[in-house]
């Protein structure tokens, strides 16, 4: 069940999205030089919220979108948009939601509560992972350490600006884009940049 604060944030989401595009939350970065990673993307470090691990073969030949999420954020409405993206493009794209409490403590719930919140309020069926540290820190999750270190991914050092920052990898495991929180996953600039077409 959504709290009063969560309901207000959901109502204000379109305004927050519009205002955020003018600042750092609207940042878009691209791997212009097609620089390959220096180390492979650490897929083996992915653990779902229930403690299980994915069948890595099911990710073969697909793009991967990594998003740091939170349940009490102005951008939480993007769960619904990510679900729409998942339903339309699951044959080509894997979405990985990484809940995090790194930004203004907007995700205090435990793994089970987070998964239930996502399913009940947004019908989420894409993978929600165990809660993790996503910003540079000694406890930063290996996936985000790779995403935010050019010595690993080949070119990008940009850490998440806020909840619902998005990192896109191509089918070969190359990091190709970063999209700030206020870039909707259903925005034309997002869809066009990643070259997705619904089949």
pLDDT of residue 199: 40
**pLDDT over 60 (residue 51):** yes
pLDDT digits (tens, 9 = 90+) for 141-157: 999 999 999 999 999 99
1: confidence class by pLDDT, cuts 50, 70, 90: low
- Other CB atoms within a 10 A radius of the CB of residue 7 amount to 12
* Angle of CA points 98, 114, 171, to nearest 5°: 30
Domain boundary assignment for the chain:
4-194
By annotation, the residues acting in catalysis are 73
pLDDT of residue 57: 87
> If you average pLDDT over residues 172-195, what whole number do you get?
92
**pLDDT over 70 (residue 65):** yes
Distance from C-alpha of 144 to C-alpha of 148, rounded to nearest angstrom? 6
Pairing verdict, β 63-69 and 93-99: parallel
What is the token pair recorded at 62?
Answer: 């697909």
> What percent of the chain is modeled with pLDDT above 90?
78
Q: How big is the chain, counted in residues?
A: 199
E strands present in 9-101 = 28-30, 63-69, 93-99
Output the pTM of the full model: 0.90
Write phi, then psi, for 133 (nearest 5 degrees): -85, 125
**pLDDT over 80 (residue 32):** yes
What is the longest distance spanned by two Cα atoms in the chain? 46
198: confidence class by pLDDT, cuts 50, 70, 90: very low
CATH number of 4-194: 3.40.30.10
pLDDT of residue 24: 86
**pLDDT over 80 (residue 5):** no
pLDDT of residue 192: 86
Distance from C-alpha of 30 to C-alpha of 15, rounded to nearest angstrom? 26
């Amino acid at each position: 069940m959504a709290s009063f604060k969560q309901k207000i944030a959901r109502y204000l989401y379109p305004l927050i999205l519009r205002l955020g595009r003018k600042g750092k939350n609207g940042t878009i970065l691209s791997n212009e030089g097609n620089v390959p990673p220096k180390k492979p993307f650490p897929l083996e470090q992915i653990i779902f919220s229930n403690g299980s691990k994915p069948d890595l073969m099911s990710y073969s030949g697909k793009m991967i979108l990594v998003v740091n999420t939170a349940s009490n954020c102005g951008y939480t409405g993007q769960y619904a948009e990510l679900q729409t993206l998942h339903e339309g493009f699951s044959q080509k794209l894997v979405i990985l939601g990484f809940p995090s409490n790194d930004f203004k403590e907007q995700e205090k719930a435990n793994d089970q509560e987070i998964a239930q919140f996502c399913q009940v309020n947004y019908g989420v069926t894409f993978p929600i992972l165990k809660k993790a540290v996503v910003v540079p820190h000694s406890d930063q999750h290996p996936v985000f350490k790779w995403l935010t270190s050019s010595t690993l991914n080949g070119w990008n050092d940009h850490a998440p600006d806020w909840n619902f920052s998005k990192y896109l990898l191509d089918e070969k495991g190359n990091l190709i884009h970063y999209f700030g929180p206020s870039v909707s996953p259903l925005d034309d600039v997002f869809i066009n940049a990643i070259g997705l077409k619904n089949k």
